Amino acid sequence: MKPVRLPAAATLALPRWALLALGMLYILPGLIGRHPWKEDAGSFGIMWTMAHGGLDDWLYPNIAGLASAAEGPLAFWLGAICIKLFGWILGDVLASRVSTIGIFVMGAMSLWYTAFHLGRRAEAQPLRLAFGGQPEPDDYGRTLGDTAVLIYLGCLGLLVQSHLTLAATLQGALLSFFLYRAVRYVESASTRNAVLVGLSLGLLALTRGMVAPAVLVVALYACTRYLKLATTETLRHLAIAAGVGFLITLAWLLPAALLQPYGLSPVGEWLDWNAHQIGLPTLSSLGAFFRIGVWFFWPAWPFAVWAIWAWRRQQHLLHIVMPVMFFVALAALLLCDPALEDGDFLKMLAPLALMAAFGLPTMKRGAINAIDWFSVMVLTILGALVWLFWIAKLTGWPAQLAKNALKLVPGFRPEVGIIAFLVAAATSVGWIMLVHWRLSRQPSVLWRAVVLSSSGLILLWVLLMTLFLPDLNYRKSYAGVAQQIAASLPADADCIETNVGPTQRASFAFFGRLPFAGLAGGDCRYVLLQDSAPGRAGNQDSTRLERRYGVRGAAVLWEGKRVSDREERFRLFRKP
């Protein structure tokens, strides 16, 4: 017997304007007014270099001369195109994030349509009620689409990662698109749908390598075997998909190999990076998977686990089999990754949110009400605390809260931003109105639980990205250091050699317009070194660095660091 019993009243669609408003309120804060931070300044540097460079920079991704072709160029191409199109009006930083908005919309829409198509299938429909009144297939599909997107937005891991200009962010959205194309292929196993599956595979390969697309092809084949699709036809279609994906990848690999940008080829670096994405699973990787995954996938994973349990007596269910297969395959890939990063978990978020959407309708009304009350109480208290910390840092009262709010940003002088305050206040009023709607009307719609939890998370994000954005920029940005170095650099300096990392190089090139040596190198008279501050661990390497770069005993034109960082130090030398 099916585990879902719902009246038509429970599947009233969330108004489109409300879903769109939630999506924009989710993605725009954290993009507008934010400097490139340590987490994504390197990626922005590649986009900026492409947008202001030539064909060689588009074929060989680099950060002001620092090679960075490991992952693939697609995410950076999109950001660079947006800088070209919108940089003159929005500024290069915000223009590059237009692509981030598009990536977010693509991922959310792909997930919505995946849930919609699966929800309309006969095996996913609720039990027919004795006297009628059950939802229509399209209505149920729309409700599941809304629910999947709301769960997706409510996941803690997506919150930060979706606002960063990283290749991993695009990969997560493309996984959602691949999931949609895979569902459409299983529903109608045609050559056209196979080609579109291949399109998603090729885009994934250009984003972060060939390993994930190869694993997805295997997982899709396993789904078709479990669902008993025709073997010969499936193999032919998957071969077409793989061929299309390979041809799309060649659109970058062939020109890069033949034209040899800067006299070099990025293909070798890219292939080497691909080869190092697979290793043997270890207890360390298993521990990291659960340690990060527990909070990254919250609250989707409890709903997803419940969905598997609730539908366990049914067989050959596409809405359970496919997301489970993809999640398991990608989880195995993650466990074999020698260097796990938070962004790698984005690959599994779409199938998990899809499973969770089909778990929610099977839950008891009491459990859903408990989720409602938990969201209302906890998120309201957290929102009030953010406001209290903001008042404390401005007024100094309460004293302990003011001390805690400012200790991470020594030397920072807080000010009131009128626009930021108005946005934060309007969002808080909107949250209060949403809570009043929930408490006064007692709606029976299925998505009421997840709309509260997702909206509460959005409230907290908006408050942080408005009231505390200047503090975060002060702590995480290298803009001030870049401007100090630029002011100390002689006007005739045309080349700087350096050992700084991707984040610092991108920030210094953008904010300070420092002329770093290109990929081909050069004989530079000026050297910028990064090491540990005196008295800190690792400072013993400074002598070795000075000898390596030929500045032992040379004149130091400038020395400094970020006020908020006690570890790192930068020194600008002029060679004798």
pLDDT number for residue 385: 96
pLDDT number for residue 21: 92
The lowest-confidence range among 83-92, 127-136, 292-301, 492-501 is 127-136
How big is the chain, counted in residues? 576
pLDDT number for residue 4: 77
pLDDT number for residue 539: 53
Alpha carbon distance 458, 432 (integer Å): 13
Burial class (CB in 10 A: 0-12, 13-18, 19+), 33: middle
Which residues span the domain enclosing 464?
366-476
> Does residue 1 lie within any of the structural domains?
no
Condensed to tens digits (0 to 9), the pLDDT of residues 326-363 reads 999 999 999 998 888 899 999 999 999 999 999 988 88
Instruction: Tell me the pLDDT of the chain averaged across its residues.
Output: 91
pLDDT number for residue 132: 65
> Does residue 2 lie within any of the structural domains?
no
- Do 276 and 79 meet the contact criterion of CB atoms below 8 Å apart? no
Most confident stretch, 98-107, 302-311, 512-521: 98-107
- Do 26 and 461 meet the contact criterion of CB atoms below 8 Å apart? yes
pLDDT number for residue 536: 55
Write down which residue in 420, 446, 476 finishes a domain: 476
Q: Is the pLDDT of residue 538 over 60?
A: no
Q: Are residues 152 and 274 in the same domain?
A: yes
Using the structure block, give the residue that is written with the tokens 């920029």. Answer: 473
Q: Are residues 300 and 213 in the same domain?
A: yes
Q: Are residues 373 and 470 in the same domain?
A: yes
> Does residue 8 lie within any of the structural domains?
no
Q: Are residues 423 and 495 in the same domain?
A: no
Condensed to tens digits (0 to 9), the pLDDT of residues 478-494 reads 999 999 999 999 988 88
- Do 572 and 558 meet the contact criterion of CB atoms below 8 Å apart? yes
| Number of domains observed in the structure of the chain | 3
Q: Are residues 441 and 298 in the same domain?
A: no
Q: Are residues 386 and 343 in the same domain?
A: no
pLDDT number for residue 172: 96
- For residue 53, give the nearest of 80, 34, 35, 89 by alpha carbon: 80
> Does residue 227 lie within any of the structural domains?
yes
Q: Are residues 82 and 146 in the same domain?
A: yes
Q: Are residues 270 and 379 in the same domain?
A: no
Is pLDDT larger for residue 453 or for residue 521? 453
> Does residue 6 lie within any of the structural domains?
no
> Does residue 9 lie within any of the structural domains?
no
pLDDT-derived band at 1 (thresholds 50, 70, 90) equals low
Q: Are residues 224 and 295 in the same domain?
A: yes
- Two tokens, residue 499: 């050992």
Write down which residue in 476, 500, 530 finishes a domain: 476
Condensed to tens digits (0 to 9), the pLDDT of residues 267-284 reads 999 999 999 888 888 888
Condensed to tens digits (0 to 9), the pLDDT of residues 235-265 reads 999 999 999 999 999 999 999 999 999 999 9
- Two tokens, residue 141: 């599909």
In this prediction, residues 452-474 reach a mean pLDDT of 94
Most confident stretch, 121-130, 194-203, 541-550: 194-203
- Do 566 and 536 meet the contact criterion of CB atoms below 8 Å apart? yes
- List, in order, residues 6 or more apart from 295 with CB less than 8 Å away: 156, 157
Q: Are residues 48 and 197 in the same domain?
A: yes
Q: Are residues 513 and 448 in the same domain?
A: no
> Does residue 7 lie within any of the structural domains?
no
Write down which residue in 430, 447, 476 finishes a domain: 476
Quote the percentage of the chain above a pLDDT of 90: 68
pLDDT-derived band at 157 (thresholds 50, 70, 90) equals very high
Q: Are residues 559 and 461 in the same domain?
A: no
